[in-house]
Structure 1
């Protein structure tokens, strides 16, 4: 007895869609932006769950209570807040799925970008499982902290995907010299430490995430004010490095892109600093803490955009191979402030990258 052959849409739905629909670049860009926006929204709503003491509004996982996936209204407002955040995970999955479909249907097919889009999905799945672990461990502060860091990882992949949609697949061409790139990398490392220390402030602070009194909430055993002071110190380090980077970029006459991105990061840091100090001196009101979490997402996004502005991947022209260089570009500028030159006459190896064929 022969096994009936499945229709094409069941065997490979993404290929089926790609064969019949080609999205325009704007559609793909919007799809990846939607995934990025939802990556930030899930952080904000997750913070609201903890700050409203709704972390155990659903006391079990993956179900909400016993055999019930959604729980009941009788479980109260904390249950409603927690289950709403869980349901938003499906919205996030839908946004990421839409980005995957749009990227798969692009012409020409871009394997690297497609894999990056799928990486978002698997980070979402991993973070959802880790979120369940926070419930099963009764909101262990270290587990909760790592939950936020996994969200930062998701935002990182989402930003990279969004950026890469607007670029080509050629090897990256540096726009600034190596010393400037190293300063940017130092800035990114300091920003990452700032975010990690911020999660420790959360773990030691007065918002454990549950108000039922049924469990004794574990906290990080250190005075939260001490960790908050360390967090503020790192914030000033990041501000100082950002200001230094902006002045260096101006001094070497770098392209406007890196200069603008560093100025944007500085503005975001100033706003985040104001929120941080106000929440500290007002004893951490929940609304301001959640706003500060939103600001942390913006700081990290702005930091990534600074790093990504240091290089470019030109889009290939029709009929052109991805590695071909179709226009003259300025030589990377470093601390010496070298003048722009015709990239067609300077091998890319001399610019700090791999040689690329030049279209004559």
Structure 2
């Protein structure tokens, strides 16, 4: 009976989104994941990490910031509210993916994975506040946001392709080189969080515990991994040319190289200018964009067939000469 159906099933029976709408919804989750990364950095760089003194409320007596908390309370609370916007965007993607026919369970699973990652990261964010910006928790908070961005990119990719068995476009050694690039880029991101935990921008004007490492030495290690990632990217581009790989992967490698070049310029500018907050914010944006490019390069080396833009049953019914659908015979009384 219809009344026993779950809400997503009821929506699926009344609304049929286009494949383009599902793709746009998936892309919106990627955009929101990047915004969450950047605004989270803005909270730290504006020394608003403890703008709300507790969690889940902003103060022990108020859910929202008070006038006495000033701009720091507004910034921290605003970042919390962005989580609600992110949940709405992910919810739209889940509903659109579920309502789309034929049903693609892989898309709905990826959508729910994003939702639970958001919920997990919200709890980690609360622990961050309750522990007074413990640098290790702060680092895990950023890595969880990067995990969300990863699943969002996977969702976007799956929304743009079919459901055939994946077919590799290059030989295994080339894939191994790509995975080495992905692993190096992931290590680069992790080391970047250590630089954050040991560096001067603690996230609050008060004295905050830092990771007991020389942040300049960790920064040098971070730079070393940048060179490794750049070297692997160049090597991959020449390799793809040598094996005559399709144009799309080679174009995406060039996009990654361009993004790495811009990120390198921003990195050196922030170092030689004494780590100004606005430049560090741009560096965090660049970090998210580099990771997106790395994932797109890896995902471009296999294909899963074309995406069906419409329901095959509806397409067949629209063909000239197709028989009219028959109504069910009336039951005799």
TM-score by length of 2: 0.91
SS at match of 1:76: helix
CA contact (8 A) 1:22 1:105 kept: yes
Task: Report what 1:176 is aligned to.
Answer: 170
Question: Contact 1:156–1:304 at 8 Å: present in 2 too?
Answer: yes
Aligned partners of 2:160 and 2:307 also within 8 Å:
no
Q: Report matched runs for 1:120-135 at 5 Å.
A: 120-135=114-129
2:36 is aligned with 1:42: yes
Could you tell me which runs of 5 or more consecutive residues in structure 2 were left unpaired when the two chains were aligned: 314-333
Matched positions, count: 311
**Aligned with 2:306 (options 312, 315, 319):** 315
For the pair 1:230 / 2:230, whether they are aligned, the reply is no
Three-state SS of the structure 1 residue aligned to 2:63 is coil
C-alpha separation between the residues in 2 aligned to 1:64 and 1:291?
A: 28
Hey, what's the Cα distance between the residues in 2 that align with 1:267 and 1:315? Answer: 29
Within a 5 Å distance, the mapping from 1:1-360 to structure 2 comes to 8=3, 12-211=6-205, 213=206, 216-315=207-306
Q: State the Cα distance separating 1:12 from its structure 2 match.
A: 1.6
CA deviation profile, 1:104-127 (whole Å, cap 9, x unmatched): 110100112211111010001101
Q: d(CA) in 1 for partners of 2:164 and 2:242? A: 29
Task: Tell me the C-alpha RMSD between the 2 structures.
Answer: 1.5
Residues 100, 118 of structure 1: 8 Å contact kept: yes
**Alpha-carbon distance in structure 2 between the residues aligned to 1:180 and 1:188:** 13
Contact 2:58/2:64 (CA < 8 Å) preserved in 1? yes
| 1:67 Cα deviation from its structure 2 partner | 3.1
Structure 1: where are the runs of 5+ without partners? 321-360
Distance 1:183 1:14 in 2: 42
Q: CA deviation at 1:316?
A: 6.3
Query: Once superposed, which parts of structure 1, at least 4 consecutive aligned residues long, lie more than 3 Å away?
Result: 316-320
TM-score by length of 1: 0.84
Deviation of residue 167 (structure 1)? 1.0
Higher helix residue share: 2
Q: Which moved more, 1:305-314 or 1:65-74?
A: 65-74
Q: Tell me how far 1:89 sits from its aligned partner.
A: 0.6
1:74 deviation in Å? 2.4
CA distance in 2, matches of 1:291, 1:119: 28
- Offset of residue 319 of structure 1: 5.2
